[in-house]
A and B are shown apart, each in its own frame.
Chain A
Amino acid sequence: MMINKIQIKTWAKLGHRGTLGTSLLELASNLENLMVLTADLSTTSGLTRFEQTYPDKFLNMGIAEQNMVGVAAGLAKEGYITFTTTFATFATMRSCEQIRNYLGYMEFNVKIVGMASGFSMGMFGNTHYAIEDIALMRSIPNITIISPSDCFEVNKSIFAVALLKGPVYLRLSGTMNTPIIYQDDYEFEVGRSIILRGGDDVVIIACGTMVSVSLSAAKILESVGISAAVINMHTIKPIDKQAIASACESSRLLVTVEEHNIIGGLGSAVAEYKSTLKNTPPQLFIGIPDTFCKPGDYQYLLNHFGLTPESIAQKIQEHIH
Chain B
Amino acid sequence: MDSEDIELKKLELMARNIRRIVLNLGLAAKQNGSHIGPGLSIVEIMAILYGRILKFDSNNPYWEERDRFILSKGHGALGYYAALAESKIISDKDINSFDVNGGLFPSQPILLPSKGIESASGSLGIGLSFAIGIAIAIKKRGLSSRVFVLMGDGECNEGTVWESAMSCSHFKLDNIVTIIDHNKMQSDGICVKILDMKDIVLKWQSFGFNVISVDGHNIQELWQTFESILNMRNGKPSVIIANTIKGKGVSFMENNPLWHHNYLTQNDYNKAIEECFGNK
Contact surface of A with B, Cβ cutoff 8 Å: 56, 59, 61-62, 64, 66-80, 82, 97-98, 101-102, 105-106
* Chain B 131-166 near chain A by CB (<8 Å), digits 1 or 0: 111111110110000000000000000001001101
Complex Cα–Cα for A80 and B135 (A): 12
Q: A62-B166, A67-B163 are in contact. Are A78 and B138 (CB under 8 A)?
A: yes
Flag if A77 contacts B118 (CB, 8 Å): yes
* Chain B 158-194 near chain A by CB (<8 Å), digits 1 or 0: 0010011011001100000000000000000000000
Q: Tell me which of A74, A79, A80 contacts B130 (CB under 8 A).
A: A74
Complex Cα–Cα for A106 and B134 (A): 15
Residues from chain B with a CB closer than 8 A to the CB of A72 are 133
Flag if A74 contacts B131 (CB, 8 Å): yes
Q: Tell me which of A64, A82, A97, A101 contacts B163 (CB under 8 A).
A: A64
Contact surface of B with A, Cβ cutoff 8 Å: 111, 118-120, 123, 126-138, 140-141, 160, 163-164, 166-167, 170-171
Q: Tell me which of B129, B137, B160 contacts A78 (CB under 8 A).
A: B137
Residues from chain A with a CB closer than 8 A to the CB of B127 are 70
Flag if B132 contacts A71 (CB, 8 Å): yes
Complex Cα–Cα for A72 and B135 (A): 11
Residue of A56, A77, A98, A106 contacting most chain B CB atoms (<10 Å): A77
14 contacts between A and B (CB under 8 A): A59-B136, A61-B167, A66-B129, A70-B129, A72-B133, A74-B129, A74-B130, A74-B132, A74-B136, A75-B136, A77-B137, A78-B141, A82-B133, A101-B123
Q: Tell me which of B123, B130, B163 contacts A73 (CB under 8 A).
A: B130
Flag if B133 contacts A74 (CB, 8 Å): yes
Q: A66-B160, A67-B160 are in contact. Are A78 and B111 (CB under 8 A)?
A: no
Q: Tell me which of B118, B126, B133 contacts A76 (CB under 8 A).
A: B133
Flag if A75 contacts B137 (CB, 8 Å): yes
Interface of B, helix, strand, loop or mixed by DSSP: helix
Flag if B163 contacts A66 (CB, 8 Å): yes
Q: Tell me which of B119, B138, B140, B167 contacts A71 (CB under 8 A).
A: B167
Flag if A66 contacts B126 (CB, 8 Å): yes
Interface of A, helix, strand, loop or mixed by DSSP: helix
Complex Cα–Cα for A56 and B119 (A): 26
Known pairs A67-B129, A74-B133, A106-B120; list 19 more (Cβ under 8 Å). Answer: A59-B136, A62-B167, A64-B166, A70-B128, A70-B133, A71-B130, A72-B133, A73-B133, A74-B135, A75-B133, A77-B119, A79-B141, A80-B137, A80-B140, A82-B133, A101-B120, A101-B123, A102-B126, A105-B111
Flag if B133 contacts A77 (CB, 8 Å): yes
Name the residue of chain B whose CB is nearest to the CB of A66: B160
Complex Cα–Cα for A69 and B160 (A): 11
